[in-house]
Structure 1
């Protein structure tokens, strides 16, 4: 899935909707524009959990008690990457993907798309640099 043109990354996280904080939600997020969406495979289930929680006055709930490898494999089909632990390999994968596309823009002569990709690369490399600095300073 794509938002601003960058490939969305999958992850399991927590999301607040209305007055309810829902944990263990499969999410798609963009490393460039930071758009976050509930994964399409569980969107209906997520909406129902939120609706029931609001009706029952519950402020915090869990979408799934157990996230097994089969579910993650299914969810990965909707996104280029799926973050299970370290963000660094995903950022590197996104940079490689964007560089491949940048090469295609040169072959197609699409300068506008090339500029968008250069901006995306600037954001991604900045995040990777900050992540590397954080890792280095925590040693």
Structure 2
């Protein structure tokens, strides 16, 4: 599990541009607060290798779909606190709950810096959830 902005990152599969090569179907870890995105550590070596081969072959787009089997995805989902598929609403609520739990721990440890990181994270997550709910309401 990777951490950013005081709490865990969300696992997802997406597209990432790296060294002028667009790579599709990449397991990623994304921070819902600062939007930091990194390749999942379990696939990082494979990702770097695929990008290097693509650059050598002057390929602009490639996919990792053939390199990733369903068992790998299941294992990665188990490692992540949250894994975004279609229901971002559920993921945001999960992240808010997790951040609230961590805020209690930060308070017990009297770690004011971590508390501030978590409070900021909660503000951003709450705002995103509110906007998502407003968008759902307006589209009905």
Unmatched runs of 5 consecutive residues or more in structure 1: none
What is the Cα deviation at residue 77 of structure 1? 3.7
Q: Deviations over 1:4-63 (max 9, x none)?
A: 322010000000011111100000011111110001111111111111111111111101
Cα RMSD over matched residues?
1.6
Gaps of 5+ in 2: none
**How far 1:110 moved relative to its partner?**
3.1
Indicate the residue corresponding to 1:18 in structure 2: 19
Give the number of aligned pairs: 139
Shift of the alpha carbon at 1:66?
7.5
Paired residue secondary structure (1:109): coil
After TM superposition, list the pairs within 5 Å mapping 1:1-139 onto structure 2.
Answer: 1-65=2-66, 68-139=69-140
1:107, CA displacement in angstroms? 2.8
TM-score by length of 2: 0.90
Contact kept, 8 Å, 2:7 with 2:102, in 1: the verdict is no
Q: In 1, distance between residues paired with 2:68 and 2:136?
A: 28
Structure 1 residue 133, shift from structure 2 partner:
1.4
